[in-house]
Amino acid sequence: MIEAIDFSLLALTSPGWGGALLAGFLRSVELAAGGYLLGIVIGLLGATAKLYGGRVLRDIAEIYTLLIRAVPELVLMLLFYYVGTDLLNQLMAAFGREGIDIDGLSAGILVIGLVQGGYATEVFRGAIRAVPPGQIEAAQAFGMSPFRVLRRVTLPAMAPHALPGMANLWMIATKDTALLAVIGFSELTLVTKQAAAATREYFLFFFAAGLLYLALTLISNLGLRWLERRARRGLPAAA
Amino acid sequence: MPDIDIVTPIHPAPALPLRARLAPLLMPHRLVMAGLALAALLAIITQMEWSWLPVYLPKIGDGLLVTLVLLASSVIAGFALALPLGAVQVTGPAPLRWLATGFCTVIRGTPLLLQLWLIYYGLGALFAQFPEIRGSWLWPYLRQAWPYGFLTLTLSFAAYQGEIMRGAFAGVPRGELEAARAFGMPRLMVFRRVWFPRAVHRALPTLAGEIILQLKATPLVATITVTDLYAVITRVRQDTYLTYEPLLLLIAIYLCLSGTLTIVLRWLEGRVPSGH
């Protein structure tokens, strides 16, 4: 009943779909990396707002993280996608320009970054709180500017505490890119579905895509573990 | 988690008087923010297009029910599967241990949407090739989408929770197991009376978070034509050509769901004696 699987469908050149799959994979990695970096920036700002901000700023950051953690990523991505493109088009119209089509990559990165930022805020907040306050106060007593305190003391001192959580977030970022398939981004999962539907070889293509995702996860796991070991130099062994 | 302290009695936190509990809400900036939020809500209700709501309300109710049933059933089935997955990784024979670890790694390392489509399209196409299956009593169910959604959500929950259970089984203090063995309990009884209940107890605090995560995973089943809450709202958006109104309602409903679940689970957690 089941015929032998035709692996030539995975060939890199035209009759095969391998090239399209790899291009989709690269697009996924780009989206994940961009969104992750944006998430780190938002997370640092959010954590600073929560720990050192005024009352209003603190409450706004609180509402942001609450919203991100309580609403499904898929729904958030839809919302950010429509609000983001609408706002940008209105902005362009206000400057008297034609409405433009935002390219998929930046829209996708924005959407993933805003979701990641909510979780990163919580990770960084916990990590900064784990730094003994005396170290930060000592840096301030030396007359360092707030930015230099951040760069020289707070960031390196909180890194070992933040890394496990941030490693986890990177895994979530790579998997969240798949959700963009629902909005219509041609990243790995959507390309895979198109290839599978065209050839009716569902298992072959979905397993191939699964292997690509798994390889990404396992390889980044190795890198992150090395980074964590490096950041923990000089600290007592983990409990 | 520190070892259990059996000496200090458990004191419930003294209830604060109402005024003290309300004080943080009555700070000036919060009053202003609440006012702004109220104004925004009024603007949303009066300025936006809501005439479709009464027409679609029954369907939204049905979708909500589908979401909740999927959530509850997949959490229960997934947790039942997570227990052996966790136990086997700590104490099982090597081949079973590798299988369980491999299962958890693969499921946790690939996107849920990919798994869902693999199972729905892949298994669905495979089943359709066998006349034996097409003729069986199961076929009317297997032709629908929800069994595949349920299966995928269950496997996913089992893998994430299985990883937590592995940690919980490994984290039960050795002294408790040694004490049980010193009482002359056979291995199976040690497992049944001490190891297993203590591991489940240790894993409970993380369960609430996992259930919220599972709630947030359920809308994916809409992509395989299960008509859950998200699918109903998508249908509304297609029918009415409205972008924001249905989406805002959807977000409001999910916020309420997450909030209610968090409160209920915290209450349940408080009822489990923890020894602190």
Q: Tell me whether residues B118 and A210 touch, CB distance under 8 A.
A: yes
pLDDT at A3: 55
What CATH number is given to the structural domain containing B267? Answer: 1.10.3720.10
Which residues of chain B have a CB within 8 Å of the CB of A87? none
- Per the domain annotation, does B106 fall within a domain? yes
- Confidence band of A25 (pLDDT split at 50, 70, 90): very high
Tokens of B193: 């009376």
- Confidence band of B15 (pLDDT split at 50, 70, 90): low
pLDDT at A44: 93
pLDDT per residue as tens digits for the range B84-127: 999 999 887 899 999 999 999 999 999 999 999 999 998 888 88
Q: Tell me whether residues B114 and A71 touch, CB distance under 8 A.
A: no
| B84–chain A nearest CA distance, Å | 24
Of B111, B219, B254, the CB nearest to A70: B254
Is the interface score ipTM higher than 0.95?
no
- Per the domain annotation, does B43 fall within a domain? no
Q: What is the DSSP string of A145-211?
A: -HHHHIIIIIHHHHHHHHHHHHHHHHHHHHHHGGGHHHHT--SHHHHHHHHHHHHT-HHHHHHHHHH
CATH 1.10.3720.10 for domain A31-188, yes or no, is yes
Q: Which of B32, B118, B243 to mutate to probe the A interface, most A CBs <10 Å? A: B118
- Per the domain annotation, does B49 fall within a domain? no
Q: Indicate the number of domains in chain B.
A: 1
Backbone dihedral angles phi then psi of residue A155, each to the nearest 5 degrees: -60, -55
pLDDT at A170: 94
Percentage of the residues of chain B whose pLDDT score is greater than 70: 93
- Per the domain annotation, does B245 fall within a domain? yes
> Averaged over B226-252, what is the pLDDT?
92
Amino acid at A127: A
pLDDT per residue as tens digits for the range B179-237: 999 999 998 999 999 999 999 888 888 888 899 999 999 999 999 999 999 999 999 99
Which residues of chain A have a CB within 8 Å of the CB of B170? none
pLDDT per residue as tens digits for the range A81-138: 888 888 888 888 887 766 566 677 888 899 999 999 999 999 999 999 999 999 999 9
Which residues of chain A have a CB within 8 Å of the CB of B30? 55, 59
The DSSP secondary-structure symbol of B194 reads I
Which residues of chain B have a CB within 8 Å of the CB of A174? 111
Owning domain of residue B186: 74-271
Q: Which of A2, A202, A207, A211 to mutate to probe the B interface, most B CBs <10 Å? A: A202
Closest chain B residue to the Cα of A68, Cα to Cα: B255
d(CA B91, CA B199): 13
